[in-house]
Each structure stands twice: as C-alpha cells, then as structure tokens.
C-alpha cells in the first residue's frame, strides 16, 4: 500500500504563492493609496517673510510671533483658499535678499519703490494695494500749523528715511536725530528735544495711546511735508497666487475695510487728504 505524500502538490503550492504575492501587492497599493490620500489632504504651505519689528497696528514680529492687521488679513485669505501660511520674521535688509533669491514664497509688506536697485533684474510681482499709509511729522499740539520753517530738528526711528525732508536735511536747515525705538522717538518729541518726529502716523498714534498712555501728546500735522503710499504683497515664485489674492481683495472689499478700521491702520489718511 502506497503511503500518501507529505509534500503539497505543485498546483496547490503555486496557488498559495499567488495568494501571498497578491496579498503583498494589495498591502503595498493600500499603503501607497493611504500616503497619497494624506498628501492630498495636507494644505499647500507657503512661507511669508515679514519684518522682525513691532509696527502695530500693521504688524508685529519682534517677539517671534507674527500679529496685527497683516496677520489677520493674510490668514483670512489663506483660510478661504485652503492654504497654510507660515510667517518668518527677519531683519528688513535680509528679507529683500531672501525674496529675490526665492528663499521665501512671499514678502509683506513691500512696495515697488523699496530697494529697487536690489530687485533689478528680478521679476517681482506685486499685489494691488493692501493698506494705505501716511508717513509724516507729529508735533506738540501747540506747534500744530506753524509750517516747515518751524522745524529745525527732526527725529526718526533709526533705519527709516524721511524722504520728504531729505533736501532740507542735506542742505543743513534741518538736523536729523535718530532713535532706536518708536516709544523713545515719541518721548523725544514730547520732551521737545526735537521740533517734530517723522514716522508712520498710525504706528505713532498706536505707540502714544497703547504703550505710553499719552493720547494727544503729539499730533500729526498734514501741513508739513509728508508722503502717502501703500503696502503690498510681493513674490518672485508665485505670481499666479498674487493675482488670485488681488481677486480676493476685490471680492472681499467690505470685509477688508472692516479689518482696517478695527485695527486702526487708516489713522492719518483723512487728515493727509485735506
């Protein structure tokens, strides 16, 4: 009597091998599909280069956390489009270099007039104006309306340029005094160590009221030389997103205007238009 073979037949072995290979393939495909699904679920991420200074109400980046009007605005756009913005506070001069080098995806704030020589030869795309601003001279209330002839000394924050006063400064009729901080600059003006302080009007009012608790200590004099311009979003890498951002600004004008009013970034604009 023949003993039954203990070895499995070739067909059954082949079937088992096919089942094992099929199972492994299904496992691999399933893992790949899971990874692909996870990747698709993750929102597109972009790095926004911002200034590492306190420039409220527009923005603040001096404590490692970005805040202010700009953060609220850009976060609102990112949320509507399903993006994730990471904000990277950097020194101002380094920001421009990283923009043109493509290290950061976007820069805020920016303006076509800023660092034009450094940007030459680079295709920098700018958004429509995001927020208007006024740089001008604040004086003691009793000196309001006396005109440019009353200004013999002018204070500024170190690193900022009083473009509207450059001719007078170079000509020697106005002496320039620099201060390392906005708070120090406002105190310098109130102590009459300078005849006026040249700075962003909204930031100056924020500093006087919120930090120094000296509301009305200095007032913006629109009769003195001042400039009005706008902050914009810029990019070298993603002009198509900047174009979409423009469409979003236009479609959300009422919402954006409310943000501006709530943050107080429109301070000084009405006076400058008089």
| CATH number for 62 | 3.40.190.10
Residues near 105 by beta carbon (within 8 Å), at least 6 away in sequence: 46, 47, 48, 235, 237, 238
Torsion of CA 38, 73, 252, 269, to 10 degrees: -170
Structural domain that includes position 70: 45-131+230-272
Percent of the chain's residues with pLDDT above 70 = 84
Does some domain include residue 70?
yes
The Cα-based distances of 112 to 19, 94, 143, 233, 242 in angstroms read 65, 17, 35, 10, 14
CA angle 138, 142, 143 (to 5 degrees): 50
Cβ(72)–Cβ(261) under 8 Å? no
Q: What's the pLDDT band for 270 if we cut at 50, 70, 90? A: confident
Does some domain include residue 123?
yes
Helix (H, G, I), strand (E, B) or coil at 85: strand
Examine the domain organization and report whether 224 and 249 are in the same domain: no
Does some domain include residue 241?
yes
Does some domain include residue 86?
yes
pTM: 0.76
Predicted confidence (pLDDT) per residue in 84-121, tens digit: 999 999 988 899 999 999 999 999 999 998 888 989 99
Does some domain include residue 96?
yes
Examine the domain organization and report whether 157 and 103 are in the same domain: no
Does some domain include residue 29?
no
């Amino acid at each position: 009597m023949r003993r039954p073979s203990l070895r499995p037949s070739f067909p059954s072995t082949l079937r088992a091998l096919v089942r094992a290979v099929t199972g492994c393939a299904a496992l691999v495909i399933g893992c790949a599909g899971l990874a692909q699904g996870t990747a698709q679920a993750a929102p597109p991420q972009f790095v926004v280069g911002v200034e590492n200074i306190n420039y409220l109400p527009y923005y603040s980046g001096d404590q490692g956390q970005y805040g202010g009007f700009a953060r609220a605005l850009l976060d609102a756009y990112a949320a509507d489009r399903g993006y994730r913005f990471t904000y990277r506070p950097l020194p101002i001069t380094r920001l421009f270099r990283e923009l043109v080098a493509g290290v950061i995806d976007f820069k805020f704030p920016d303006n076509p007039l800023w660092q034009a020589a450094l940007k030459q030869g680079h295709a920098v795309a700018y958004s429509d104006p995001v927020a208007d601003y006024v740089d001008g001279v604040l004086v003691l209330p009793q000196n309001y309306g006396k005109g440019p002839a009353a200004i013999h000394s002018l204070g500024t924050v170190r690193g900022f340029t009083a473009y509207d006063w450059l001719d007078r400064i170079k000509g020697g009729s106005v002496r320039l005094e620099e201060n390392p901080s906005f708070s120090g600059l406002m105190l310098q003006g109130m102590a009459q160590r300078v005849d006026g302080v040249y700075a962003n009007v909204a930031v100056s009012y924020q500093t006087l009221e919120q930090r120094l608790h000296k509301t009305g200590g200095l007032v913006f004099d629109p009769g003195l030389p001042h400039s009005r311009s706008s902050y914009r979003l810029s990019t070298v890498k993603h002009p198509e997103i900047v174009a979409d951002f423009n469409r979003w600004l236009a479609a959300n004008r009422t919402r954006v205007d409310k943000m501006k009013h709530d943050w107080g970034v429109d301070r000084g604009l009405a006076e400058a238009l008089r």
